[in-house]
A and B are shown apart, each in its own frame.
Chain A
Amino acid sequence: MKLNLKIWRQKDAKTKGELVDYTLKGIEGDMSFLEMLDVLNEQLINKGEEPVQFDHDCREGICGACSLQINGEPHGPDRLVTTCQLHMRKFNDGDTIVIEPFRATAFPVITDLVVDRSAFDRIQQAGGYISVNTSGNTVDANAIPINKHDADEAMDAATCIGCGACVAACKNASAMLFTSAKVSQFALLPQGRVEAVDRVQNMVRQMDLEGFGNCTNTGACEVECPKGISLKNIARMNREYLSASVKG
């Protein structure tokens, strides 16, 4: 198929960016979206132009590196997939596709489609862990049975890949879905309860410091999340936060 691409090109953080037009022929339905961009880049390189830069690594929907806003939607039109898992069969011959970086104040553009998501790391550093030493002096793994339902729910929350689509989808650029996923994972496990109060307070404080917006419950994040992280996690975090505030 033939495609008209409008791609955000930006030299670096200091330079202004713009959408640039490209046409691309010979794209097959079996190609992934990133393989389509590989084809474009190969052509640009052969013409002596600079290829489009974008983050990616695993190309199987798990590392969370890829991060494109495709026709206004983070990770594009398909559901429950990342950009790297989106296949060109979701598009038609002659389509125009607008490709931009994830947009949020807390995610500044580095170049082209590459953004800086280190704010997410800092939220995790503020409390996204259980304070056990890693020296191996722990109790037997089966010493504390965990209700299967809770374990499964913790697992569902833990599958967040830290891609930032939730932020890019939100009109307020809120990071609630991301933050609540980690808070929930630990809140659901006995091992995580011990530090629950400090954790939620510290992570929420850092989230606010990073300049993410407030949550107004539009639910856009859940729709675009490639891992199906549920809004229930936000509700749970709100409860955790409230009870933490009461406990001081």
Chain B
Amino acid sequence: MGILDSKVPKGPLANKWTQHKNDINLVNPANKRNIDIIVVGTGLAGGSAAATLAELGYNVKTFCYQDSPRRAHSIAAQGGINAAKNYQGDGDSAYRLFYDTIKGGDYRSREANVYRLAEESANIIDQCVAQGVPFAREYGGLLDNRSFGGVLVSRTFYAKGQTGQQLLLGAYAAMNRQINRGKIKAYNRHEMMDLVLVDGKARGIIARNLVTGEIERHSAHAVVLATGGYGNVFFLSTNAMGSNVMAAWRAHRRGAFFANPCFTQIHPTCIPVSGDHQSKLTLMSESLRNDGRIWVPKRIDDAIAIREGRLKPVQLKEEDRDYYLERRYPAFGNLVPRDVASRAAKERCDAGFGVNKTGEAVYLDFASAIQRYGKEEALTHGIKNPDEKEITRLGKKVIEAKYGNLFQMYEKIVDENPYETPMMIYPAVHYTMGGLWVDYNLQTTIEGCYCAGEANFSDHGANRLGASALMQGLADGYFVLPYTIGDYLSKDIRTGAIPTDLPEFEASEAAVKERLQKLMSGSGQHSVDYYHKKLGKIMWDKCGMARNAKGLQEAIVEIAALRADFWENVKIPGKADGMNQELEKAGRVADFLELGELFAKDALTRNESCGGHFREEYQTPEGEALRDDENFKFVSAWEYKGEPKDAVLHKEELVYENIELKTRSYK
């Protein structure tokens, strides 16, 4: 087993990052002009990295598969972004954010990275406000905060229910400024198909122009992958339809280790599946758990009556409702971390208390919040003796101001008015904590290949806290990567432009073309979606919210068989030399079919339960996750060796010098 060097700087935790920035090599401004960087992905991580790198003076090329950087999946983030600003004076600090993140991640993340993230978090808010991001404000004109799961302070900044949109538009604007200056050249509707290595270093990519179908070579001195998460391996997830693992997986095949692939976040509050036609799932932001109370009926016959439409939820009396999170976790109540909330919902539904037709839904109820806010509003507006109706009206107005767009979204999809009747929700795949292994500098195991944002594994351990992905993406992109990459590039100031006619580019291009050819020449039995849905079902049933050894072993065999079938029999109409969305999907599904198998293998290897990874064999008598720090306090980093089943495990032992490992408790 090899040894992974995390390159965590020496010294006390709080000084590491500052000291490191003082120690690393810099590239002088004149030399930056001679250095090219490719940034694949223009979400929060890639967009912010590209803008900052260009501003520093490097020549940047960006790539994204959408028609504009503004449409990256980050746009969909709803609830908010964390920062240890302590504006609320509730005792928040960088240390507390660090502590919450490590604990929330169930002690499977790297201390130094997480501390740096917490340290930089405050900077992000300053930066975004300066860029004109319209965060929500209080009447006094200062910034407002809300709370998210797994923490006891209010540190989440938000822009209505569209925080990701506003932050991404901020990063996009920063990119636009650099595009206007000629420092970024944006290649939109382009998909990275391969990473090109020259003398063991990442020196470029092969991309497909999705409009013309042309295969292009692009060279650079370093390549940054910020290509997002791989939740779509489950077919149904809250991710955008095009979210994929291709770029990360291609890099993995070229030597980048893939870390913790089985660490997936299943988000507790999503709109339940409505039928076989379902193409994706819609998240109802975690921020709703600030005000919504989660419940199912106490009695099974009530649950049955509700399912059969004989009983309405609003008819059920308080004492007949089971607010199971408040019951099981009095300290955190409805704001327990996501993994805990999801498993609790599954537990109730498996026990027969589900409330929709399929029995796979629980209620998220705003009635008490409407009452509470209504009374508050009446008081602050000097309305004396308001009647019930007036209180409800005022309360609804507050809820609308806070979550209006989410409520509207819910109503459009489900055709029910959530101001009047509780929402129905169920857990769905949402985020992947796993990703390419990176060291403290965000470099993968391939020299010159960096990875940022959801695509890397670095900060969230086995479970991510709400509102922390946006924080990580922007910290990586604005404040970390632009400096750490300089240390590497300082050795390249005399290299000169990398030619694209090197044999390595030729070979890589040939391999890409051959693969496309192979995809186009399937026997034509089944569509790409047919395979994707099959894969998704295996993943959800056997690698989902609860896993066991037998299921995982089966999954490995089934996925391998499905992959073979796919390559034999997939059907892709049309041609490769123009826009062909089926071909795009096929390339992505082909890689999911490899990743899925590694995912199952990783889950099978990890004989413990931690965070989002719940192995049924390892639980306490109360059904809580049973971690095994003695044997599994490590990051699994998998090395590609041909078939996923042959992947070789490398362990990065996690060292906790500043935090004492405890059993996570939210009771």
Contacts and interface: CB of A to CB of B under 8 A. Distances in A.
Interface residues of A, number: 81
B130 A132 contact: yes
Interface in B122-165: 123, 125-132, 134-143, 159-160, 162, 165
B277 A191 contact: no
A138 B127 contact: yes
B116 to A, nearest CB: 13
A93 interface: no
Contact of B529 (A32, A38, A55): A38
A12 B578 CA distance: 8
- Report the contact-size class of chain B (Cβ under 8 Å from the partner): 35 or more
Interface in A6-63: 11-12, 28-32, 34-35, 38-39, 42, 44-46, 48-51, 53, 55-63
Contacts of B177: 129, 131
Nearest to A115: B67
B663 interface: no
B413 A136 contact: no
Nearest to A80: B408
Contact of B139 (A31, A53, A148): A148
B371 interface: no
B160 A57 contact: no
Contacts of B134: 151-152, 154-155, 158, 185, 189
A34 B279 contact: yes
B71 A145 contact: no
Interface string B63-88: 00011111101011000000001010
Contacts of A218: none
Interface string A125-165: 11111111111101111101111100110110011011000
Contact of A48 (B67, B130, B278, B524): B524
Contact of A118 (B67, B172, B278, B408): B67
A236 interface: no
Given A125-B179, A151-B134, A38 B48 contact: no
B180 A125 contact: yes
A55 B67 contact: yes
A48 B524 CA distance: 8
Nearest to A127: B180
B381 interface: no
B394 interface: no
B503 to A, nearest CB: 34
A236 to B, nearest CB: 15
Contacts of B412: 78, 81, 85, 87
Contact of B279 (A53, A59, A140): A59
Interface in B160-208: 160, 162, 165-166, 169, 172-174, 176-177, 179-180, 186, 188
Contacts of B211: 110
A35 B278 contact: yes
Contacts of A62: 75-76, 162, 165
Interface in A42-100: 42, 44-46, 48-51, 53, 55-65, 78, 80-81, 85, 87, 89
A49 B571 CA distance: 11
A150 B132 CA distance: 12
Contacts of B55: 133-135
Nearest to A54: B581
Interface in B44-75: 48, 51-52, 55-56, 66-71, 73, 75
B566 to A, nearest CB: 14
A45 B573 contact: yes
Contacts of B130: 130, 132, 138-139, 191
B277 A31 contact: yes
B73 A57 contact: yes
Given A145-B142, A162-B68, A51 B478 contact: no
Among B134, B186, B482, which residue has the most Cβ atoms of chain A within 10 A? B134
Contact of B70 (A38, A60, A64): A64
B68 A56 contact: no
Contacts of A208: none
A229 to B, nearest CB: 13
Contacts of A81: 412
Contact of B573 (A51, A85, A132): A51
Contacts of A38: 277, 279, 529
Given A85-B409, A136-B123, A186-B132, A57 B277 contact: no
Contacts of A146: 137, 141
A57 B143 contact: no
A211 interface: no
A58 B137 contact: no
Nearest to A89: B415
B527 interface: yes
B606 to A, nearest CB: 32
Given A85-B413, A151-B134, A59 B571 contact: no
A156 to B, nearest CB: 9
B623 interface: no
A227 B278 CA distance: 24
Contacts of B138: 148
Given A65-B67, A136-B123, A151-B137, A191 B176 contact: no
Among A35, A127, A136, which residue has the most Cβ atoms of chain B within 10 A? A136
A30 to B, nearest CB: 5
B242 interface: yes
Given A58-B73, A136-B479, A141-B125, A159 B165 contact: yes
Contacts of B66: 57, 63, 65
Contact of B48 (A30, A129, A134, A139): A134
Interface of A: 11-12, 28-32, 34-35, 38-39, 42, 44-46, 48-51, 53, 55-65, 78, 80-81, 85, 87, 89, 110-111, 114, 116-118, 120-121, 124-136, 138-142, 144-148, 151-152, 154-155, 158-159, 161-162, 185-186, 189, 191-192
Given A62-B76, A126-B180, A185-B134, 12 more contacts: A51-B581, A51-B582, A60-B409, A63-B66, A78-B412, A87-B415, A121-B70, A124-B173, A134-B52, A138-B127, A141-B126, A151-B134
6 contacts: A48-B571, A59-B279, A126-B180, A130-B131, A134-B127, A151-B141
